Amino acid sequence: MSNHDSPGVIALRRAGYRLTSPRLVILDALENCGGHTTAAELLQAVTTRDPSIGRASVFRTLDLMVKLGIIWTTVQGGSTIHYMLMPQGHHHHIICTGCGLRVEFEDCVLGTLVKSLEERFGFQIEGHLLELYGHCPQCRHKTPPSEGETLP
């Protein structure tokens, strides 16, 4: 781990937490998965980097990062928990309901909506997870037109 200044590391430091090895390894593993992974994938990636980091330590660290808003969790495709890095406070997907393909994108146009929601409900909004559902180019060719684009 040479570069400790990734957004996740900065967020941890800003929250006043020490950059212990499990924390750095987990952030590094998450960043190398494109900021989105399942618990099983993450455990494997962490073990590959540092076999001395145990399962319990991984989940304790994940809990902490969820509490700090550095990571969010979502459940997709049944019972699999997905961990998503969101040090900038947002995370966006398009998910294909046909094959489960997940596309990550960065563009965010929710600023105006967030402001108006804050005014309307009195919240201070700190982040969002945006998930759009539909059919990917491959599945569109298999899907009957009458069922297209309306799920869920």
**Binding interface with Zn ion (CB under 5 A):** 36, 84, 90, 93, 96, 98-99, 101, 104, 108, 110, 136, 139
Query: ∠ at Cα 62 (107, 118), nearest 5°?
Result: 45
Nearer to Zn ion, 23 or 36 (CB): 36
Nearer to Zn ion, 19 or 103 (CB): 103
Smallest distance, Å, CB 141 to Zn ion?
Answer: 10
Smallest distance, Å, CB 2 to Zn ion?
Answer: 25
**Are 47 and 30 a contacting pair, CB within 8 Å?**
no
Give the position of tokens 């618990």.
Answer: 39
Nearer to Zn ion, 51 or 111 (CB): 111
**Other CB atoms closer than 10 Å to residue 33's CB: what's the count?**
16
Smallest distance, Å, CB 104 to Zn ion?
Answer: 5
The bridge status of strand 128-134 relative to strand 90-96 is parallel
Smallest distance, Å, CB 110 to Zn ion?
Answer: 5
**CA nearest 72: which of 57, 90, 60, 59?**
90
In sign, the C-alpha dihedral spanning 112, 113, 117, 118 is negative
Nearer to Zn ion, 28 or 83 (CB): 83
Nearer to Zn ion, 18 or 141 (CB): 141
Smallest distance, Å, CB 101 to Zn ion?
Answer: 5
DSSP-assigned beta bridge partners for residue 73: 83
